[in-house]
Structures are given as C-alpha cells and as structure tokens.
Amino acid sequence: MSRPTLPAKLAILSVFYVVQGLPFGFQAKALPIYLAASGVSLTDIGFTGALSAPWLLKPLWAPLVDRYWSARLGRRRGWIIPLQAALASTCLAAAFVPREALGLLLALIALTNLFAATMDIAVDGLAVDLLEVEELGYGNIAQVVGYKLGMLIGGGLLVWASQWIGWSGLFMAIAGLIAVALAVTLAWREPPTPAPSQTAQTAQGEPPPHEDLRTLLRTLGRALASPGGLALLAVVATYKTGETMSDAMFEPFLIRYAGWSEARVGLITGTWGMLLSLTGSFVGGWAASRLGVYRALVGFALARTAAIAAVVWLSSLEPAGIGDLEVILAKGSEELAGGALTTAMFAFMMARVDRRIGATHYTLLAGVEVLGKLPMGLLSGVVADRFGFGGAFLGGLGISALCLPLLLLVRGSPSAPPPPAPPGDS
C-alpha cells in the first residue's frame, strides 16, 4: 500500500480530533454556563475541571495502547473504532438525563473524557506514524484545529442552538456527529506500520521497543533522561498555566458580573471566540513550518501573555460597558494568540518524541501539559470567590509572565534525537 498524501493524512486526522473535541467542548465551554445558570458556586464550577482527570492520567495506560493492537483493524484504528462507538453511546445516554440529576450527568461527562483521552493516545500515535518532519506544522494544524472545531460545535454552536433543541438535543447532536465519524473510520484503511527489521535489536540485545512492554518503558526512560528531556517537561507543564486560570472563570464572569444570557455567551465566546482560536491555530502551524518551531513558540507565548492583559482590562469595566465588541477584542486576542501558541507547542513536542514509541512518549508530554493546567483550573473559582474575577484574571497574567523565561531552557535542546527538529528551528 502506497503512503497517503499530506491532504489525505490531514483529512483523517482532522476527523479524529474533531470527535475528541465535541464532548470536551461541552465540558470546557458549555458546562460552566450550565452550572452558572443553575446557581452552582464559582468554587464548585472551578472544581468540575477534575472531570478531565483521564487526560492527566492517560500516560499510565498509553504503553498498553502502543503495545497491543488488532492486526486485522490496524495498530491505531483498532483502538479508535471501539472508542468512538463508546463515546457516541455515552453522549446519547447523557441526552436522557434530567437537569436535576446533576451527579449522573457529571459521571457521564467523566466517562466521555476517559474514552476521548484514550482515543487521543491512539490518534496522536497515528499522527507520529504518518507525518514526516517537514509536515509536523501542518499536521498539528489538523490536530489543534480539528480539536477546536469539535469544541466550537460542542461548546459553542450547539449551546447557542440549545435555546431551541434543549440540552438533550445538544447531546443527541454530539452523538450523531460521532456516529458519522465512526462510519468514516470504518471505511478508512490504516496504512501498515513500517515494520522494523526482523534482526533489529538494541545494543543490549533487546527487541524493538514496540514489541515488548518492558523495553518500551526503558526506551521512554532514556528519552526523558536525554539532554533537554526534563527541561521539555518543565516547559510543557507551565506554558498554559496562567492562561488556564484566566479561561476557567471567563464564562462565569460574563454571566455573573456582566449579566449575559447563556445563548449570548455561547454565541460570542463559544463561537466567535473559538473561530479566532481556530484562526490562531492555522497561523501557529504555518509559523512553525515556515519560521521554525522554537521561534514560533517564543513569539506566540509573548503575544498570549500580552493578550491576557486585555482580559484584565475588560474586568475593570462596569457591566454596562462590557459589550460584544469589547469581549471579542479582549478575549478574542487571547484566543488568537493562545491558539497559535498551542499549535506551535504541539509541533514542538511532536518533533522531539522518539517515533519508535510515538504514542507513549507524546502522550506523556500531553499528560504533563494537562497536569500543568489542572491546578490553576481547579483553584480559579477559589481565587475568584476570594478576590473577584479581576483577581483571577490578574493572577493568570502574573503566572503567564513568570513562566516565559523557562522557554530558554529548551532552546536548541531536543529531548530525543530521532527525528531532528524542523528546518529553521534554533
């Protein structure tokens, strides 16, 4: 079977990442609106971020996804198909949960995170398998844009449409879209994974990493201990921390402080804000491919920090002065810069994984990223309750600025030699 073209690679990866973004878009964007309108405290809203724990813990079972697969369905497709089916079924079940049964709804959302996070391991591994070094910037556009497009639908457009279709209709729509993606996946054939030479052995006489779980973990340890490995973990863990603190309280800020309706928040932040984030993701991928991954990473980190300052300014206005234009300009600039930064960082991470254990190594980095974002997301409501929304946004700005110097630690220091950094990286 011939290797697929770049457009074909980007198309199928986009489908998979859209699926993962649909339920997470509900949790990240729609659930805070749902809870704020239901009178839940800001502290409790902040702590619902714990529902995303599977995204943090997925490195624990990533080696299993790398090691075991179906020879008939494909190394990655054999995981993606059943997980898509499970995800669609869970979303469909959520459609029949009454609004007062909040505990059951949260449990189902946690389950969707488990299925989506596990599928993400397989999809990220597929991206590492398929993409050449020079394709990483464009591949990560498919990754980030596809995921955010799913979030745009699940946390923006469908929330806006919920005034007509209701929350049950929202979940039914998500389940239907995942079912369509499942049909596409069933029709798609995964290219065969390049097999290592039958005689290929490591210097210690070990089998190729993906054929033995113990060797796989040993290979991961060597990658982390290589020059720049720990520095990369530190940067990945901190680059989004301040932004997360600011983001977690923004929708509640519009509802509780500015007095916006649920539909208006869904349209302006969940839809227009996400469109700006998608635009930023395209810009970030283009810049990573054309200007170099590291240059793009630093430039967009600076721009994102400056944009959080605009959100702080927005919180200083009187409620009557917070209109659609002000929110789009302030929050939109953060979404634009943050979207570009995310794409650049993911390309940076993917360029530095050991491709022999691509799913495991990349998933570990992705798990560290979630770990870095989780504490500030959980504590954002506590800070907002104590110091107000402006205090939460100002805290996010300060943390973001303090983390910028850490980028110097990974200047020209790949954590794993194969593959080399993209041309122009410095």
pLDDT grade for 196, boundaries at 50, 70 and 90: very low
pLDDT grade for 277, boundaries at 50, 70 and 90: confident
Q: Is the pLDDT of residue 377 over 70?
A: yes
Q: Give the side-chain half-sphere CA count within 13 A for 416.
A: 23
**381 exposure class (CB count in 10 Å sphere: 0-12, 13-18, 19+):** buried
Instruction: Please answer whether residues 21 and 148 qualify as being in contact, where contact means their C-beta atoms are separated by less than 8 angstroms.
Output: yes
Q: Is the pLDDT of residue 202 over 50?
A: no
Instruction: Please answer whether residues 363 and 308 qualify as being in contact, where contact means their C-beta atoms are separated by less than 8 angstroms.
Output: no
Cα 168 from Cα 317, distance rounded (Å): 36
Number of other CB atoms surrounding residue 187 within 10 Å = 7
| Global model pTM greater than 0.75 | no
Instruction: Please answer whether residues 86 and 115 qualify as being in contact, where contact means their C-beta atoms are separated by less than 8 angstroms.
Output: yes
Alpha helices by DSSP H, 96-157: 102-130, 136-152
* Token pair in block for residue 416: 């794993």
pLDDT in tens, 142-171: 888 888 889 889 887 888 888 899 889 999
* Residue 17 included in any domain: yes
* Residue with token string 């977690």: 248
* Residue 112 included in any domain: yes
* Residue 300 included in any domain: yes
* Residue 245 included in any domain: yes
pLDDT value at residue 204: 43
Cα 76 from Cα 190, distance rounded (Å): 8
Q: Is the pLDDT of residue 1 over 60?
A: no
Nearest by Cα to 151 from 43, 327, 51, 270:
270
Cα–Cα distances in Å, from 19 out to 85, 154, 274? 11, 10, 16
Nearest by Cα to 400 from 261, 282, 288, 239:
239
Tally the domains of the chain.
1
* Residue 203 included in any domain: no
What is the mean pLDDT of the segment spanning 115-139? 88
* Residue 198 included in any domain: no
* Residue 345 included in any domain: yes
Which domain covers residue 182, as residue numbers?
6-190+212-410
Q: Is the pLDDT of residue 174 over 70?
A: yes
The most confident of 218-232, 279-293, 350-364, 408-422, by mean pLDDT: 279-293
Number of other CB atoms surrounding residue 195 within 10 Å = 9
The CATH number of whichever domain residue 138 belongs to comes to: 1.20.1250.20
Instruction: Please answer whether residues 30 and 271 qualify as being in contact, where contact means their C-beta atoms are separated by less than 8 angstroms.
Output: no
Who wins on pLDDT, 5 or 192? 5
* Residue 416 included in any domain: no
